[in-house]
Amino acid sequence: MTTQAKSEQSDLPDNIEQRVESLVAERLDALVKERVAQAMKRDPAKRRVAIIASKGTLDMAYIPLILATTAAAMDADARIFFTFYGLNLLKKGGPEKLQVAPIANPAMPVPVPNILGMLPGMTPMATRMMKGMFAKHNVVSVPELLHQAIELDVKLIACQMTMEVMGIRREDLIDGIEFGGAAMFLGFATGAHTTLLI
């Protein structure tokens, strides 16, 4: 508003006008500061946890499920978007069949030379070993984690494009999940602080 417009509009005594201005300025400053601080604290991005699960091995299945169930237990809106090999986790009977191959990973707890790791029987053996290690320490299994995720309202989304490409039908997947694409993931992730890809 220009000075002219102001003086035209106003027919208050000068001191009253000034006092009104200073009162407004004074109140406004504090209030805006407080409200902005509140809004930042309540920022909905803090409550959103967006995870892409692109791996279908036993070891890499624990990570998204443990993170998402923990986030949901902390009252966050956690969503896992399953794409590529990650879709194996959503297949009926899929979580029970996940495996881990003891090759190309010299960082395994019990490293196996690749020339042995590639032998038939080694992948099932490594899988049994890893499952045993988790069970022994009372870590819930992947099927159980998936069940917990559903109970805790973690949203599970199957990537439609990958389903088509890999010939996976809706009836191949467990119930209670949603279907979407990259745009659906980004629509959620662009408003989330925590965004992770496994």
Considering only residues 120-149, where is the footprint of a second copy by CB under 8 A? 120, 122-123, 133-134, 136-137, 139
- Among 26, 151, 153, 178, which residue interacts with a second copy (rule: CB under 8 A)? 26
In the complex, least distance from residue 93 CB atom to a second copy, rounded to whole angstroms: 14
Residue 56 near residue 198 (C-beta atoms within 8 A): no
CB 150, CB 125: distance < 8 Å: no
Going by C-alpha positions, the residue among 159, 167, 100, 168 that lies closest to residue 134 is 100
Distance, in Å, from the CA atom of 98 to the CA atom of 144, rounded to the nearest integer, reads: 13
Q: Which of 3, 8, 93, 107 binds a second copy (CB under 8 A)?
A: 107
Minimum distance of a second copy from residue 124's CB (angstroms): 9
Give least dist CB 72 to a second copy, A. Answer: 10
To the nearest whole angstrom, how small is the minimum distance from the Cβ of residue 176 to a second copy? Answer: 22
Decide whether 177 or 181 has the Cβ nearer to a second copy: 181
SS3 70: helix
